[in-house]
Chains A and B, each alone.
Chain A
Amino acid sequence: MHAAGLAAPAGTPRLPSKRRVPVSQPGMADPHQFFDDTSSAPTRGYGGQPSPGGLGYPSPSSSHEAPFLADPMSNMAMAYGSSLAAHGKELVDKNIDRFIPVTKLKYYFAVDTVYVGKKLGLLVFPYLHQDWEVQYQQDTPVAPRFDINAPDLYIPAMAFITYILVAGLALGTQDRFSPDLLGLQASSALAWLTLEVVAILLSLYLVTVNTDLTTIDLVAFLGYKYVGMIGGVLVGLLFGKIGYYLVLGWCCVSIFVFMIRTLRLKILAQAAAEGVPVRGARNQLRMYLTMAVAAAQPLLMYWLTFHLVR
């Protein structure tokens, strides 16, 4: 047998089996320099950002000169620690992304001031707007910044928070305020919102509508009514019950029309959405569902605000 592994072919270097003499500690002060010390001036370390892993250079925050290698063991430990931190961070990110789809959320916050202004105007006066279809770009809907019909989460979130604060304000003017009431208002409004979302999702499932209406879309649409509620309560604070009823009535009708026109495109079949009346039990059921969702909005608007204006 050809002993292939026995003898290394001639000409290749053999691994040295002799132990090298261990290197002495580098910490000793030695004036005998073997090379030029080209360590650059230290950069002020950013306190808040994670240290760049892998290099292992110390980032001194208080020393005035950077030793080239202060202590190799602590450098290794630092490099290892920072690589551990980076690994842990991406693990946490991956797990968070499983529960809260952060990238999807970012789509709903891709807004700008012009969009917000136009959308608020649309929520209060939707009667003149013609084209309610969301534009698509290669199978994905465009960001809200580019199309006013796209739903966003900035307005509902801000409207919700503003509603809670305005509710606190209103209760304060009636001398019924205490800070835990704010928490109560917040949780009850949130509970109603969750109930709505669950009820609509359930009915969509029962009616077997295959629509591209995602849960977050639904939350966004249902959150638009808070804008009207805020308007109503603010006017009610300034001008009393008459002002409250007027503004709330107007906003209720507007949000009803808005929801019908928006949901019609999402829930109803394509043909019916274009205005052609299609007979059939299925489409009728869908039509009733849309009307029910839209009619629930004014009811909830009144329910959540009437106790604030006395």
Chain B
Amino acid sequence: MAEAEESPGEHETATPRPLFAGLSDISISQDIPIEGEITIPMSAHARELDNSTLNESVRHTIMRDLKAVGKKFMHVLYPRKSNALLRDWDLWGPLILCVTLALMLQKSSVDGEKDGGPQFAEVFVVVWFGAVTITLNSKLLGGNISFFQSLCVLGYCILPLTVAMLICRLVLLAGQGPINFMIRLFVVAVMFAWSVIASTAFLADSQPPNRKALAVYPVFLFYFVISWMILTFTP
């Protein structure tokens, strides 16, 4: 078995024969040892750039994620027809925004829990279950957007309302009154419109034109609820 027989293919025939005619005569009756080395040509530089980001420093990782989140914030604030939010979705931004909003909306009173302000968990639940419901509705209506992409868009578009919350809190420091209320109403209304327009710019594209309004209506309701919570907040 260990004999090495020369492969019949090594005998080149000089006679003019049609191509591959000799193949039918080849019968390999013994082992042809094939040995050698197969190496994949790779430079040492590419070796370090493979997928694992485990070796980088923690600061580097956090900065990369923060930069991605910040870039998406910019996309929300200036809604253009771009795919950045949809393509590289992440849920860090919505989490940060939701936690900030819930912290600011929390009633800071210790006297009685029935005072009407939402607790942290309630805001959280409203935001996330609202987003899940809208996503389910959008998917059932036949949109071609994935579950997490939709959650990402809805979460990021809470940014204008969070800004409105900050402004309301600042305005409330100057005391309460009807003018105060009108200012707050105006700010919240503008930010609400901004949120709805920003999320519509991303979500409506995934639906055919005769169903856009149907997909936008629950988004409208969702941001209306959040705006209502912001507007009725009294410290």
Contact = CB atoms under 8 A, between A and B. Distances in A.
A58 B51 contact: yes
Nearest 6 A/B pairs, CB to CB: A63-B49, A26-B40, A21-B35, A30-B39, A109-B140, A112-B210
A254 B13 CA distance: 96
B41 A33 contact: yes
Contact of A113 (B30, B87, B116, B210): B210
B19 to A, nearest CB: 22
A6 to B, nearest CB: 16
Nearest to A47: B88
A310 B132 CA distance: 34
Interface residues of A, number: 61
A63 B89 contact: no
B214 A23 contact: no
A116 B27 contact: no
Contact of B41 (A12, A20, A31, A58): A31
Nearest to B64: A62
A26 B39 contact: yes
20 contacts: A16-B32, A20-B33, A20-B35, A21-B33, A21-B36, A23-B38, A27-B47, A29-B42, A29-B47, A30-B39, A32-B39, A58-B51, A67-B40, A67-B42, A67-B46, A67-B50, A70-B50, A111-B141, A154-B141, A162-B221
Interface in A53-81: 58, 60-65, 67-71
A65 B88 contact: no
Interface string B127-153: 000000100010011100010110000
Contact of A17 (B1, B28, B41, B148): B1
A70 B36 CA distance: 21
Interface string A161-176: 1100100010010010
Interface stretch (B157-165, B175-183, B224-232): B224-232
Contacts of B41: 30-34, 37
Interface residues of B, number: 56
Interface of B: 1-2, 27-44, 46-47, 49-51, 53, 87-90, 114, 116, 118-119, 122, 126, 133, 137, 140-142, 146, 148-149, 210-214, 217-218, 221, 224-225, 228, 232
Given A64-B49, A158-B218, A20 B89 contact: no
Which of B2, B214, B225 has the most chain A CB within a 10 Å cutoff? B214
Given A58-B51, A63-B50, A179 B43 contact: no
Nearest to A111: B214
B39 A46 contact: no
Contacts of A110: 142
Contact of A28 (B32, B39, B140, B211): B39
Contacts, number: 136
A157 B2 CA distance: 77
Contacts of A180: 122
A220 to B, nearest CB: 13
B114 A109 contact: no
B55 to A, nearest CB: 12
Contact of B213 (A18, A63, A113, A157): A113
Interface in A103-142: 105-106, 109-114, 116
A80 B141 CA distance: 34
Given A14-B29, A47-B90, A109-B142, 5 more contacts: A20-B33, A30-B40, A47-B87, A63-B50, A165-B224
A85 to B, nearest CB: 15
A68 B118 CA distance: 55
Contacts of A250: none
A24 interface: yes
B209 to A, nearest CB: 9
B35 A177 contact: no
Given A62-B53, A109-B140, A46 B87 contact: yes
Given A109-B142, A110-B142, A179-B122, A29 B43 contact: yes
B35 A60 contact: no
